[in-house]
Amino acid sequence: MPKLYNTKKIDKGLKIGLREPEGTEWFADMTFDSEKRTCRKINVQFNPKDKRNISLAENEARKLFEYLNKARLKEKDQKINVPAWQTKFFSFSLILLWITGLLWLVLDFMNLGSFGKTQLLILHGALIIPALVSLGVLIVSHIPEGWEPTKKRKSGFLLSFIMLFLVISGFVLFYTESAVYELSYSHSLIGLILVPLIFWHFTKKSTS
């Protein structure tokens, strides 16, 4: 961030000045913490010889600083802090499930018969164990904190229902001797869109 010229310090983390040496408007340089600093225009003409002008610039800078700081703290409170190891464990298990399921679909689509399909199904079924363990851990830490941001709550409900369907349909398909093709392909197709849906849920901005 470029430095300000003709600066005047107001409070800790707040000063006013010019963005350019020959500028005509006051700017506020605001530092909230080590990771957040910004410089904004405050819509006050630069006239350092007029005390009222300086006082107006200071007041506008304080108002903007307080507004942005409150918005930053509100956004920080709404962030869901899930330990990194939980998300990594869940992501790794889910990706392995997704890849084995995708490979099975490819083999089935190419009509390769039983070539590797049985082994893939066994591996796919075995991977549900770490996936369910990691999902349970994630739910305990994630849902209570993620209840307030209402926009993410809807997508969270959608993901929960999808994963519940995948778990139940997966157990039905795994333990029944004759696979129900409608259920099998519903399970496969919904499973394919699960990872993009989780990415959408994760990157979605939260509002309350």
The ranges assigned to domains in the chain are 5-78, 84-203
- Point out which residues pair with 39 in neighbouring strands: 29
Listed in sequence order, the residues at least 6 apart from 120 whose beta carbon sits closer than 8 Å to its beta carbon are 100, 103, 104, 107
Element of type H or E holding 56: helix 51-78
The answer, yes or no, to whether residue 42 has pLDDT greater than 90, is: yes
pLDDT at 148: 54
**CB atoms < 10 A from the CB of 131, how many?**
22
**CB atoms < 10 A from the CB of 33, how many?**
10
End-to-end CA distance of the chain: 31
Asked if 13 and 32 touch (Cβ cutoff 8 Å), the reply is yes
pLDDT at 14: 93
* Type of residue found at 168: I
Share the mean pLDDT of the chain: 79
DSSP characters over 123-191:
HHHHHHHHHHHHHHHHHHHHTTTTSS-HHHHHHHHHHHHHHHHHHHHHHHHHH-SS--HHHHHHHHHHH
Greater pLDDT, 116 or 126: 126
Closest of 139, 142, 145, 148 to residue 167, by C-alpha: 139
pLDDT at 208: 39
The answer, yes or no, to whether residue 111 has pLDDT greater than 90, is: no
pLDDT at 207: 42
Cα-Cα-Cα-Cα torsion 102, 185, 106, 192, nearest 10 degrees, comes to -30
Listed range (39-48, 128-137, 141-150, 168-177) with the worst mean pLDDT: 141-150
pTM of structure: 0.51
The answer, yes or no, to whether residue 126 has pLDDT greater than 80, is: yes
Greater pLDDT, 80 or 119: 119
Task: Give the C-alpha distances (Å, rounded to integers) separating 207 from 70, 77, 147, 154.
Answer: 15, 11, 11, 11
Closest of 157, 155, 152 to residue 78, by C-alpha: 152
